[in-house]
Amino acid sequence: MQERSNRSRSAVLDAAIALLVERGLPAVTTRSVQQASGLARGGFLHHFPTREALVADVVRELLQRRAHRAEIVIAEMEMGAPGDRISAAIRAGSVLFSGPDFLAEQELWTAARTDPALRDALAPVVGWLDAKLAEQLPRLFGEEAAANPRFPLVAELSVNLLVGLAVTAPITGLAGREALVDQWCEIVRPILGVH
């Protein structure tokens, strides 16, 4: 019974994320997501009685997916440490802060600016996200870089740069993105004392 409930919930979240990516937040209604997921109305409402509950769980799902992908990248880096850990970490971040899930996530963060109910639903997630980044970023960059007292600032600037590039990519395209990431890698290495 629990497995079926989990599958139903996953189907709903996948449908909501697909609608966010394809048509934006206005298209994400309980009715449209219920229809796209294929669930009966009663089953859908059992999991998500309101749009706010649905959207809050969509945000959690998107962030958990990104955190899971980051864990895979970190494990791969720890097993076969790349020669240039700084560049590998920043490039991995570039991948983690891109793609359809990231676009869906950004759609929600942007809408929260003018939607108090959505902003309230997202507020608890911000603390979780900050804690997860604080835990994962040192592991992604490696012990040597993370030991530098400037690491927290470099990590925060790196995330903000990569998020900014990802947010503008749908409008400006990817031209020049790699060059900016390359330049950032060159700037970061001496700051962290890693060459």
**Which residue is it, tokens 């990802």?**
166
Rg (CA), the chain: 19
pTM of structure: 0.82
pLDDT digits (tens, 9 = 90+) for 38-78: 999 988 998 899 988 899 899 889 989 999 999 998 898 88
pLDDT digits (tens, 9 = 90+) for 144-182: 999 999 999 999 999 999 999 988 888 887 777 889 999
Sign of CA dihedral 12, 16, 22, 27: positive
d(CA 50, CA 158): 36
* Residue ranges covered by each domain of the chain: 1-49, 53-192
Q: Give the CATH class of 1-49.
A: mainly alpha
Whether pLDDT at 81 is above 70: no
Count CA atoms within 13 Å of residue 109 on its CB side. Answer: 14
Model pLDDT, residue 180: 92
Distance (Å) of CA 119 to CA 1, 18, 41, 146: 33, 21, 26, 32
pLDDT band at 82 (very low <50, low <70, confident <90, very high): low
Calculate mean pLDDT across residues 20-33: 94
Structure token digits, residue 140: 């992604």
Around Cβ 99, how many Cβ atoms within 10 Å? 15
Determine whether 167 is exposed, middle or buried from the number of CB atoms within 10 Å of its CB (0-12, 13-18, 19+): middle
First CA to last CA across the chain, in angstroms? 54
Whether pLDDT at 195 is above 80: no
pLDDT band at 37 (very low <50, low <70, confident <90, very high): very high
